[in-house]
Structure 1
């Protein structure tokens, strides 16, 4: 009956685990006391404590440049165009306004459609590009010619 040994080395933690097995596949689990040393466990727990404190600190601080809630409450709706994207999958995920003609914009929706829209005439020029849009910038002035 042959006996083999598997060695697991974790040099960063200073640990070597040896598991012996015979040809039947039975293994002798590591004896009590092998595995992670108390020093390694302490280092892992200390690092976990530091990371947890850092996450809590980040969660409590308000990012610089964030518009305060009282100012956002004062915002008003200037226009609403509910027909731009599907009502069954609502949401505009990306928006860009044409640099030289601000009446033209392109939106990418959660419905996987992109729409080139003229806000002055409230007309779609192009739509139905199927994909989930997270970013949708105007590439150049040529896209604005969809109305020409």
Structure 2
């Protein structure tokens, strides 16, 4: 049975920068959990960042900077590498990641100005996974992902 990498916050884990989750109440997530298909990760926490933590955004020069100007790119890359390792270990071909996150966004990310403006782009983890042949979906594409799994 094919495993799926899933952002921990989508499963209700309080791992987001603000100490909250973004739990999705979708029947397929429940089904996949019952089937033992889900491998959960928060790349930012896996990379060594705390809960809660200062918001971070990807800058136009690709650095990941907190609102106070601290470069956390190393932690973001380390978390992305750990997510890739899990995908390789469990032969995962699909990931369901949190949209707009600087780690997990697959279609949009915040623009780097901390003004709550989004732009087209990919987070650090989503980009690394895609570069390595893992197809990334957002929480808005659960049905589409389910279609591929069947």
Please indicate the TM-score interval, normalised by the length of the shorter structure. Answer: under 0.3
What's the TM-score, normalizing by structure 2?
0.18
What's the TM-score, normalizing by structure 1?
0.18
Select the structure of larger CA radius of gyration: 1
Q: Which has the higher contact order (CA 8 A, sep 6+)?
A: 2
Higher helix share: 2
